Amino acid sequence: MNIQPKKIHFYSAKDINSLPQLANISPETRLAMQAVAKVLPFRANNYIVEELIDWGNIPDDPVFRLTFAHPEMLSPKDLNCMIQILKENAPEKVLQQTANQIRLRLNPHPGGQKQHNVPYFEGKSLQGVQHKYQQTVLIFPTAGQHCHAYCTFCFRWPQFVGLEDLKFATRESGYFQDYLQQHREVTDILLTGGDPMTMKARQLALYIEPLLKPEFDHIQSIRIGTKSVAYWPYRYVTDHDADQLLGLFERVVQQGKHLAIMGHYTHWRELDTAIAQKAIQRIRATGAQIRTQAPVVSHINDDPSTWAKMWQMQVSLGCIPYYMFVERQTGAKEYFEMPLVKVCEIYRQAIQKVSGLGRTARGPVMSALPGKVQVHGISEIQGEKVFVVSFLQARNPDWCNRPFFASFDTEATWIGDLKPAFGESKFFYESQLEEFLTKKEVVRQLTPIS
């Protein structure tokens, strides 16, 4: 296998007009794409453009839909408004103001991530840290708050367009180590972003190496949430510090901890290049495990055979399918979202096509305010059609694995659209959740229900 090193090159909104691969797209459509890219984040790179997108198949090519701005991502009204001011060559300030007005209508802060999951330590809130579920603490390293390209459906889009200040991200010198030393119930650290793998190996080591000390014996697993294995596999093969990075992975494993690369893969095409497979091989050779996850979205992977093929390829390559997520209600959601009924059917049909080794993918899962909600499927109980749902993770651990029922609804796309079945006024957890939301300090103060 002859792999040439690549130096990363990014494409942004201004390149939409000059990219030769887009020459066959009409000037009107290109202008509309630029209009969208002024509102929602757009970034592609040379690997995606040169090796992942099948340019003979645009605009429907899934990787093109995954990374390039599409006119349909904005409402016709908002789209026309942006096109108009672009045509008028409006000053940057006007463009920014208009873009911000549109952004604020796109539900930029779903799920209360910021307000409700940030822990307190010695009276101060720990910015850049989230602690929602007992065992797992999320860390948002300051330097890892962008990605090697942006997904068009990204739920973290507000941080990439500057709508959210990056207080969200922690510094390596931060308090999080002290917090972790005190919280002996924590077994897992999840470094997330953006994409922590946009950091240099040296920077990443500042977060990981300290956790290998004896004070952190209670930390069993270090996870890194990343899209880099799909978007920039050169990170693990030919980038100048690739070997240094893999050396860091090896040290974690040698210290007796589990290192899990939580690879975001949206489509099997991201696994199909020689470099993508080489990256996986090299990561796995360090003793790290790769688990995979992605949301199911319209226009990109809304087909059971796409998922089945992706899971099969992952299993062949030694990766472990982990989650199929439901897309959150934010950003260009109207373009990407699907009714839960359809999402359930895609999961059900996809899972049937793979052996037990691929059925480790849990789904469809909504990561929502009360917890991670899994929709098991549709059933009928004494004549009433219902969704059967339960928590995989919850703000109160005691809410987990208690199946509950929501009225069947062909249009619902999210837990918030669902109503309790059998004429109940609330889901079993809702009173406790409301109580929690009025409190400032955190999560584990919820008492188990009996």
Ligand X SMILES: *Cc1c(COP(=O)(O)O)cnc(C)c1O
Confirm or reject binding of residue 156 to ligand SF4 (CB under 6 A). Answer: yes
- Which range of residues in 1-9, 144-152, 247-255, 319-327 is near ligand SF4 by CB under 6 A? 144-152
- Least Å distance, CB 428 to ligand X, is 20
Say how many C-beta atoms besides its own lie within 10 A of residue 1's C-beta.
Answer: 6
Which stretches of 200-273 are DSSP H helices? 201-208, 228-231, 242-254
E strands, 134-280, are 136-139, 188-191, 221-226, 258-264
Confirm or reject binding of residue 325 to ligand SF4 (CB under 6 A). Answer: no
Confirm or reject binding of residue 372 to ligand X (CB under 6 A). Answer: yes
Give 105: exposed, middle or buried? Use CB within 10 Å, 0-12, 13-18, 19+. exposed
Question: Residue 265 pairs with which residues in a beta bridge?
Answer: none
Q: What is d(CA 227, CA 272) in angstroms, rounded to the nearest whole number? A: 15
Confirm or reject binding of residue 65 to ligand X (CB under 6 A). Answer: no
DSSP class of residue 49 equals I
45 binds, among ligand SF4, ligand X, none (CB under 5 to 8 A by kind): none
332 binds, among ligand X, ligand SF4, none (CB under 5 to 8 A by kind): none
Confirm or reject binding of residue 126 to ligand SF4 (CB under 6 A). Answer: no
- Least Å distance, CB 425 to ligand X, is 28
Say how many C-beta atoms besides its own lie within 10 A of residue 207's C-beta.
Answer: 24
Confirm or reject binding of residue 393 to ligand X (CB under 6 A). Answer: yes
Confirm or reject binding of residue 264 to ligand SF4 (CB under 6 A). Answer: yes
- Which range of residues in 151-159, 182-190, 409-417, 435-443 is near ligand SF4 by CB under 6 A? 151-159
Confirm or reject binding of residue 395 to ligand X (CB under 6 A). Answer: no
- Token readout for 366 is 């909504």
Question: Residue 390 pairs with which residues in a beta bridge?
Answer: 374
Confirm or reject binding of residue 195 to ligand SF4 (CB under 6 A). Answer: yes
- Least Å distance, CB 208 to ligand X, is 18
Burial 358-385 (b: 16+ CB within 10 A, else e): bebbbbbbbbbbbbbbbbeeeeeeeeee
For helices 340-352 and 304-316, angle between their N-to-C axes, nearest 10 degrees? 40
Confirm or reject binding of residue 442 to ligand X (CB under 6 A). Answer: no
Find the binder of ligand X among 82, 138, 308, 433 (CB under 6 A).
138
- Least Å distance, CB 263 to ligand X, is 14
Task: Give me the residue whose beta carbon is nearest to ligand SF4.
Answer: 154
Q: What is d(CA 37, CA 33) in angstroms, rounded to the nearest whole number? A: 6
Say how many C-beta atoms besides its own lie within 10 A of residue 158's C-beta.
Answer: 22
* DSSP line for 307-350: HHHHHHHHHHTT-EEEEEEEPPS-SSHHHH---HHHHHHHHHHH
For ligand X, the binding residues in 99-118 under the rule CB under 6 A are 117
Q: What is d(CA 416, CA 18) in angstroms, rounded to the nearest whole number? A: 43
Find the binder of ligand X among 38, 103, 132, 156 (CB under 6 A).
132
Confirm or reject binding of residue 227 to ligand SF4 (CB under 6 A). Answer: yes
70 binds, among ligand SF4, ligand X, none (CB under 5 to 8 A by kind): none
Give 440: exposed, middle or buried? Use CB within 10 Å, 0-12, 13-18, 19+. exposed
Confirm or reject binding of residue 367 to ligand X (CB under 6 A). Answer: yes
Confirm or reject binding of residue 400 to ligand X (CB under 6 A). Answer: no
- Which range of residues in 125-133, 157-165, 268-276, 326-334 is near ligand X by CB under 6 A? 125-133
Residues near ligand SF4, by CB under 6 A:
147, 150-151, 154, 156, 194-195, 227, 264
* Residues lying near ligand X in the complex (CB under 6 A): 117, 130, 132-133, 136, 138, 190, 367, 372, 392-393
